[in-house]
């Protein structure tokens, strides 16, 4: 079995890899900043950011590893929503998403001695209408503060989601179907 390294500090991504019973893997978060490339294309943004994370970690862990890196953003009306800066930014994002559809993009990059394999997944998410009080109470939970778009679908924000189109796990932060295909192409079978 190859040495697999997850280039992420996200407990959600770690839990999803454990769900797949991918075997022993280590966690080595990328240390670099998440400066987005100068483009309005969300797929290009997450693909580039996940690629940068993979390269940085691969440089630290060595050529015998298979590094898995990911980056997630939320887009609504062409605006890219990363992690909120503060509570007011979280409120602004959740108010924007209220009663509307938006897209969640996750870029994945697998990097080993044979080179990178990168791609992106898109899922549409539809929120019900939210009151200002609901948004404030949700922010008080602190749940939205470390998540793209200021919400976690796997947590209390599940109460806001009326429908999704696409991969649920993509919204959590790691599209498992795409990841499985990419791992198989790198010689790692999960079944």
Determine the average pLDDT of the residues in 2-19. Answer: 92
Percentage above 70 pLDDT, the chain: 97
Q: Hey, which residues are catalytic here?
A: 71
Determine the average pLDDT of the residues in 148-176. Answer: 96
User: Containing H/E element for 16?
Assistant: helix 11-19
Number of domains forming the structure of the chain:
1
Determine the average pLDDT of the residues in 46-66. Answer: 94
pLDDT score for 37: 73
- Give the domain extent around 101: 3-185
Farthest-apart Cα atoms in the chain, separation? 52
Apex 3 CA angle, 26 and 170, nearest 5? 60
132 belongs to a structural domain: yes
Beta carbons of 177 and 167 less than 8 angstroms apart? yes
pLDDT score for 99: 98
Determine the average pLDDT of the residues in 180-188. Answer: 93
191 belongs to a structural domain: no
Note the pTM of the prediction, 2 decimals.
0.92
102 belongs to a structural domain: yes
190 belongs to a structural domain: no
Beta carbons of 102 and 38 less than 8 angstroms apart? no
Supply the CATH number for residue 151's domain.
3.90.950.10
Percentage above 90 pLDDT, the chain: 84
């Amino acid at each position: 079995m190859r040495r697999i390294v997850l280039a992420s500090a996200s407990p959600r991504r770690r839990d999803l890899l454990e769900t797949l019973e991918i075997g022993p893997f280590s966690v080595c978060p990328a240390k670099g900043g998440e400066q987005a490339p100068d483009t309005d294309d969300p797929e290009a943004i997450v693909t580039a950011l996940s690629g940068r994370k993979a390269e940085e970690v691969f440089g630290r862990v060595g050529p015998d590893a298979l590094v898995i890196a990911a980056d997630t953003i939320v887009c609504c009306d062409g605006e890219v929503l990363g992690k909120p800066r503060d509570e007011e930014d979280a409120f602004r994002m959740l108010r924007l998403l209220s009663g509307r559809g938006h897209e969640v993009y996750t870029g994945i990059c697998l990097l080993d001695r044979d080179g990178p394999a990168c791609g992106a997944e898109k899922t549409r998410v539809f929120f019900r209408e939210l009151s200002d009080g609901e948004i404030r109470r949700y922010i008080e939970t602190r749940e939205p503060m470390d998540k793209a778009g200021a919400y976690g679908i796997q947590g209390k924000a599940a109460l806001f989601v009326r429908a999704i189109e696409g991969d649920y796990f993509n919204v959590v932060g790691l599209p498992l179907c795409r990841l499985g295909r990419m791992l198989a192409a790198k010689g790692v079978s999960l079944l």
